[in-house]
């Protein structure tokens, strides 16, 4: 049965412009502790695992209570609880997805049918999903390569150590065992190495869906959103590289301006770089809201809409630097032909011109050199219906290529 707190909502998944208040990342302990002075709303109880009766006293720790919220549904990120326990509510998730809505705290895969069309995964084939995310695309690829009990398999890569284990357990709970599905926390630039370690040789099908996931955008603690305050982090892998705040504390003005231009074509890059470098001398820039306010204050003549666009672009540009997104993409595009078997197909979803230019160029050069036998002439874009249902799809561009037989 659908719990009343299982909030389905239309997403606003423009990179750097997330929907507020959703996410599946675990809430900090402090919001999960119970307050004995208030009764829990019964209708929305998450049915915690029953605690065995203590044999001799009351020393057994009680299960943690979910956070309290007012009203029928939890609205704030830290109040949500089903999203924090993804495998337990698979049936609810399936119902909501079947109704055409997007689950709060999940990621709606983009251009799924189009991707399946160009990749044409067949039973028994080997696939790589370079950006596993929530596993939406991976699930569909797995269904195809393992159809009729065929020995197909999929390697799912992602740099995100927080979401990857949840996605792995979700896909396992759907019945994909460890011969069919392997999940690895790795940059996709390490794809060749992982394929080698697994002894899988080359792949028949490779997918990369670039950028960030809705789960990453939705969690204010990860610092991708400026709609809610949080630490200025922006790392897909918080265990690696400097955070956005650390990078912003030391980057030179010229490098900052260059990053804003190359990462987001920011028209006010010079003004913003100068202003941010001056501002950090007064007070370190460590919070998402603080950075957003600073950017707006540096563009006083601009309309609110223009200011907001600059905020979005600056967050995107900083995210690209902090995660070395262009470095990773360039490396991946170089090693891609060596990972595809003869006739192997690759599909790439990009979300801004800096990404699309690189993919387009690499595919063109590969076609000229005979590495690819065919590439997309035009990008494939989401139709109006998909764009309405999932605004993040409106900036998506799909390109594909087919590996030539017998060339390296
Ligand atoms: N197709 C996925 C969604 C992918 S969202 C789905 O259907 O759910 C993009 C994902 O790519 C994020 O989880 C992000 O952590 C991951 N990612 C971004 N850059 C990466 C890189 N260089 N290597 C591996 N994963 C990366």
- For each of the chain's 408 residues, which pLDDT tens digit applies? 333 232 222 223 333 333 333 222 222 222 222 233 333 333 333 333 333 444 444 455 565 666 666 676 666 665 665 555 555 666 666 666 666 555 666 889 999 999 999 999 999 999 999 999 999 999 999 999 999 999 999 999 999 999 999 999 999 999 999 999 999 999 999 999 999 999 999 999 999 999 899 999 989 999 999 989 999 999 999 998 799 999 999 999 999 999 999 999 999 999 999 999 999 999 999 999 999 999 999 999 999 999 999 999 999 999 999 999 999 999 999 999 999 999 999 999 999 999 999 999 999 999 999 999 999 999 999 999 999 999 889 999 999 999 999 755
Helix axes 353-368, 325-339, angle to 10 degrees: 30
Give residue 254 CA to ligand 1 midpoint distance, Å.
30
Q: Answer whether 91's CB lies under 8 Å from 6's CB.
A: no
* Cα 227-327-270 angle, rounded to 5 deg: 55
Q: 111 CB under 6 A from ligand 1? A: no
The closest residue, in CA terms, to atom 14 on ligand 1 is 212
pLDDT confidence of residue 240: 86
Taking the CA of residue 207 as reference, the ligand 1 atom at the shortest distance is 1
Q: Answer whether 90's CB lies under 8 Å from 166's CB.
A: no
Signed CA dihedral, 322, 17, 88, 43: sign only: positive
Helix (H, G, I), strand (E, B) or coil at 372: strand
CA dihedral 210, 212, 215, 216 (to 10 degrees): 150
The CA-atom distances, in angstroms, between 347 and each of 108, 192, 397 are 17, 17, 10
The closest residue, in CA terms, to atom 25 on ligand 1 is 158
Compute φ and ψ for 103, nearest 5 degrees: -70, 135
pLDDT confidence of residue 77: 61
Q: 107 CB under 6 A from ligand 1? A: yes
pLDDT confidence of residue 41: 32
Compute φ and ψ for 66, nearest 5 degrees: -75, 160
Strands (E), 56-162: 126-129, 153-158
What's the burial of 379, exposed, middle or buried (CB within 10 Å: 0-12/13-18/19+)? middle
Give residue 241 CA to ligand 1 midpoint distance, Å.
17
The preferred substitution site among 113, 114, 193, 213 for testing ligand 1, maximizing ligand atoms within 8 Å of CB, is 213
Architecture of the domain delimited by 238-322: Orthogonal Bundle (1.10)
Taking the CA of residue 164 as reference, the ligand 1 atom at the shortest distance is 13
The CA-atom distances, in angstroms, between 60 and each of 33, 51, 381, 386 are 16, 8, 55, 50
Distance in Å from the first CA to the final CA of the chain: 54
Q: 236 CB under 6 A from ligand 1? A: yes
pLDDT confidence of residue 355: 96
For the chain, the maximum distance between any two Cα atoms, rounded to a whole number of angstroms, is 77
- Give 257's Cβ-side CA count (13 Å radius): 13
pLDDT confidence of residue 9: 29
CA distance 326 to 87: 34
* Cα 336-337-342 angle, rounded to 5 deg: 130
Domain ranges of the chain: 74-104, 112-214+326-403, 238-322
String of DSSP letters for 150-211: ---EEEEEES-TTTHHHHHHHHHHTT--TTTEEEEE--GGGHHHHHHHHT---EEEEEEE-S
Give residue 218 CA to ligand 1 midpoint distance, Å.
15
Taking the CA of residue 324 as reference, the ligand 1 atom at the shortest distance is 22
String of DSSP letters for 198-251: HT---EEEEEEE-S--HHHHH-GGGT--SSS--BS---SSTTSS--HHHHHHH-
Fold of 112-214+326-403: Rossmann fold (3.40.50)
């Amino acid at each position: 049965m659908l719990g009343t707190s299982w909030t389905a909502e239309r997403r606003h998944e423009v990179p750097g412009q997330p929907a507020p208040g959703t996410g599946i990342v675990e809430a900090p302990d402090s919001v999960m502790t119970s307050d004995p002075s208030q009764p829990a709303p019964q209708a929305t109880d998450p049915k915690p695992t029953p605690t065995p009766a203590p044999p001799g006293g009351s020393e057994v720790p009680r299960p943690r209570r979910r956070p309290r919220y007012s009203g029928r549904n939890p609205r704030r990120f830290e109040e949500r609880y089903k999203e924090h326990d993804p495998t337990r509510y698979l049936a609810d998730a399936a119902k909501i997805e079947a109704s055409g809505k997007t689950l709060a705290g999940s990621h709606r895969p983009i251009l799924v049918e189009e991707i399946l069309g160009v990749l044409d995964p067949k039973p028994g084939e080997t696939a790589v999903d370079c950006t596993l995310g929530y596993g939406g695309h991976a699930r569909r690829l797995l269904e195809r390569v393992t159809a009729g009990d065929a020995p197909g398999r999929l390697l799912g890569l992602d740099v995100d150590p927080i979401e990857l284990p949840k996605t792995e357990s979700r896909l396992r709970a759907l019945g994909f065992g460890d011969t069919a599905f392997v999940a690895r926390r790795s940059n996709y630039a390490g794809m060749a190495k992982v394929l080698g370690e697994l002894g899988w040789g080359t792949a028949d099908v490779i997918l990369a869906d670039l950028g960030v996931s809705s789960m990453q955008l939705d969690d204010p603690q990860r610092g991708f959103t400026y709609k809610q305050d949080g630490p200025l982090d922006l790392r897909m892998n918080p265990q690696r590289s400097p955070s956005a705040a650390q990078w912003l504390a030391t980057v030179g003005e010229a490098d900052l301006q260059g990053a804003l231009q190359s990462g987001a074509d920011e028209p006010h890059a010079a003004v913003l770089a100068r202003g941010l470098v001056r501002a950090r001398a007064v007070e370190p820039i460590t919070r998402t809201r603080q950075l957003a306010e600073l950017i707006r204050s540096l563009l006083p003549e601009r309309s609110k809409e223009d200011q907001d666009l600059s905020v979005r672009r600056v967050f995107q540009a900083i995210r690209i630097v902090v995660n070395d997104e262009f470095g990773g993409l360039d490396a991946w595009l170089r090693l891609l032909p060596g990972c595809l078997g003869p006739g192997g197909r690759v599909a790439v979803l990009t979300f801004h011109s800096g990404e699309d230019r690189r993919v387009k160029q690499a595919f063109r050069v590969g076609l000229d050199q005979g590495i690819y036998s065919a590439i997309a002439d035009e990008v494939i874009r989401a139709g109006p219906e998909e764009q309405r249902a999932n605004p993040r799809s409106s900036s998506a561009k799909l390109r594909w290529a087919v590996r030539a037989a017998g060339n390296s």
